[in-house]
Amino acid sequence: MEIPILGRFPHQALRPGVRAVTRIGLAFLCALAVTVPATALQQPDRTSPFCSYRSYKRLLPRFLPVDSIADVRVFPGRISAAQRGEISRDLALGIGRSELGRHMLYVPVDAKGKAHGLLRIHSEPGDHGLVFMAVFLDRDLRVSDYSVIQYRGRAKAWLQGRGDLGRRVRGADSKTLRSWLDATGGVLSPTGIAALGLAESSTAERRIVVHLVRIAAKAIATTERAWGTRMRALGYLAPRPPVEEAEETGCEQE
């Protein structure tokens, strides 16, 4: 027998206590929503329940032969509001709310404990909603490879199929990546179009490349600030030249 759709229970008069609690709760929520501008809390996006959280180790076979990975080390990190501001200033790029807060760094290691790269997942607002990409970095914090996790535009398949673009991006550091964007950070610079071989590409195709370049640059910058010191101590990142280290030591979180 199927459960009746309507009228499973006759409506009963509300008990005064229950009614009062409900009304108070409703009033409290309305007041909270109106009087506390969420953006003023300097807090990462909390609107999605954490059950939507995903581990991204499953993406590693896209970048490495799975047999070469003996283990995947996971390191939590947090991008604070202060660091977000610093990164935004350094790169001259806007950084969205979803880029604030806790993030994970995945380090695949072989049987001898040697790191074979670093995997970061990064997102930013785009033309068709959030753009999620996986950026695989080498020991010098340069782009090794990438994969598009979410992009609702038609150019997603185009980008995934452009192996030559992957070869052109490979080895780029954050400064090189930033030079491929114009001053606003919203479109490719002539240098970027030439370096990436996109002279004949469409606007839509260039748009997704802009996201790739922006996300890769921000993934490198955030990785440096949140994990740089510790990853170097563990030998998962190559030591930095002394001059650069002196410049940025104060920015690192750990």
Partner 1 sequence: MAGAGQEPLDEIGAARPPGAWKVDFDDWLFELRPAAELAVDLATRVVYRPASGPPGVLSWIGLDYVEELTFGDGRSIGTLLLQPFFLLADGLPMTPLLFDEPQDWEVQWRYVSLDVTRWEHRGLSWLTGHFELPFGLERQVDTNGTLRQYSNARNLGLKADWGTGLHSEHAGVDYHVSLTRGSGNDYRSADGSYAFCLRIGNSLTENLSYGASFMDAHLTGQDAPGDLQAFPTPDRTRFGIDCRWRRPSFAVLGEASFGSNGDEDVWSALFEVNRTSDDESVLTYAQIVGYGFGEAEGWQDYQSLRLGARHTLGASATIGVEWSRDIVAPAAAGEGDALAIQWRYRF
Site for partner 1 in 53-72 (CB under 8 A): 53, 55, 57-58, 60-61, 66, 69, 71-72
**H or E stretch at 248:** helix 242-248
Q: Are 103 and 83 in contact (CB under 8 A)?
A: no
State the Cα torsion 34-39-41-43 to the nearest 10°. Answer: 130
Please choose, out of 45-53, 138-146, 177-185, 238-246, the segment that lies near partner 1 by the rule CB under 8 A. 45-53
Please choose, out of 6-14, 177-185, 186-194, 239-247, the segment that lies near partner 1 by the rule CB under 8 A. 6-14
Cα separation, 4 vs 111, in Å, equals 59
Cα separation, 174 vs 216, in Å, equals 7
Please choose, out of 143-151, 168-176, 215-223, 239-247, the segment that lies near partner 1 by the rule CB under 8 A. 143-151
- Contact between 111 and partner 1 by CB under 8 A: the answer reads no
Residue of 91, 154, 189, 240 that binds partner 1 (CB under 8 A) = 154
Task: Compare residues 40 and 243 and give the one whose CB is closer to partner 1.
Answer: 40
Binders in 187-246 for partner 1, by CB under 8 A: 234
Which residue, among 141, 135, 164, has the nearest Cα to 228 in the 3D structure? 141
- Contact between 112 and partner 1 by CB under 8 A: the answer reads no
Using the 8-state DSSP alphabet, how is residue 100 labeled?
Answer: S
Residue of 117, 153, 192, 228 that binds partner 1 (CB under 8 A) = 153
Which residue, among 141, 111, 44, 113, has the nearest Cα to 84 in the 3D structure? 44
Residue of 88, 90, 94, 127 that binds partner 1 (CB under 8 A) = 127
Q: How far is the CB of 204 from partner 1 (least distance, A)?
A: 9
Binders in 77-96 for partner 1, by CB under 8 A: 77-78, 80-83, 85
- Contact between 48 and partner 1 by CB under 8 A: the answer reads yes
- Contact between 9 and partner 1 by CB under 8 A: the answer reads yes
Q: Are 196 and 146 in contact (CB under 8 A)?
A: no
Cα separation, 11 vs 238, in Å, equals 69
Task: Compare residues 107 and 213 and give the one whose CB is closer to partner 1.
Answer: 107
Task: Compare residues 123 and 176 and give the one whose CB is closer to partner 1.
Answer: 123
Task: Compare residues 82 and 238 and give the one whose CB is closer to partner 1.
Answer: 82
**Per-residue b or e along 170-200, where b marks 16 or more CB atoms closer than 10 Å to that residue's CB:** eebbbebbbebbeeebeebbeebbebbebee
